[in-house]
Structure 1
Amino acid sequence: MLTAIHPKLPMRNKAATRDYYVNQLGFRQLGSVDYDGYLMLEKDNIQIHFFEFKELDPKENYGQVYIRTNDIDNLYQSLLNNKVKIHPNGPLQTKPWQQREFSLLDPDNNLLTFGQAV
């Protein structure tokens, strides 16, 4: 039986990725071992893993993750309060598919979309 999913996204710079997710989005580093070229982060009940890809061209990166939440309004406001840049085409709004969603881009252009059922 399937119990969880931990997406793997590319990163160019481990320190920059860690800084963004920890200090901007409120994640924490998972585990006590610092693996070379690999980063595992966690917030609440989700994990996102990152693999080093130094040659990544952010303009050609199509990494995407859809993260469900049960308090999208407070999450959105907390990110705004923390001055996290929201995707220009992704402010919080109710979509025709009955989800309230917003999106942002991390330093490597990975798209993070947060959603909650209406």
Structure 2
Amino acid sequence: MLTTINPKLPMRDKTATRAFYINKLGFRALGNTDYDGYLMLGKDGIEIHFFEFKNLDPSENYGQVYIRTDNIDELYHSMLLDEVEIHPNGALQLKAWGQKEFSLLDPDNNLLTFGQSV
């Protein structure tokens, strides 16, 4: 029955969030309506939605999303080439649970972890 999931993450500044995801991560804006306080972005087969939370304290934000990929090495290296800042503890590595993963933080401290089964 279930077909997809679209996580909703907090954002303080729609312009900054849009710029980071589109210019740094290669996402695209979805839909043709600009909703006040809401943003929908997509890349390949995924969507991430954002809701405005102007009083968000990034140091207290624990928003997280796990994104699966079928080419983790290429994705990681493309992010390094594009000078995307990888989380200090999130460099590409093989995990004990059989995933190869890396992580980064967006402007609001939402943690994005990218992983591939190996």
Whether TM-score is above 0.5 comes out as yes
- Which residue of 1 is the match for residue 28 of structure 2? 28
Following superposition of structure 1 onto structure 2, how do residues 29-68 of structure 1 map, counting pairs within 5 Å? 29-68=29-68
- Which residue of 1 is the match for residue 4 of structure 2? 4
CA positional deviation for 1:60 = 0.1
Percent identity reads 74
Aligned length: 118
**Unaligned ranges ≥5, structure 1:** none
Following superposition of structure 1 onto structure 2, how do residues 78-97 of structure 1 map, counting pairs within 5 Å? 78-97=78-97
**Unaligned ranges ≥5, structure 2:** none
CA positional deviation for 1:108 = 0.1
- Which residue of 2 is the match for residue 116 of structure 1? 116
CA positional deviation for 1:44 = 0.2
Once superposed, which parts of structure 1, at least 4 consecutive aligned residues long, lie more than 2 Å away?
none
Task: Give the structure-2-normalised TM-score.
Answer: 1.00
CA–CA distance in 1 between the matches of 2:80 and 2:4?
29
- Which residue of 1 is the match for residue 104 of structure 2? 104
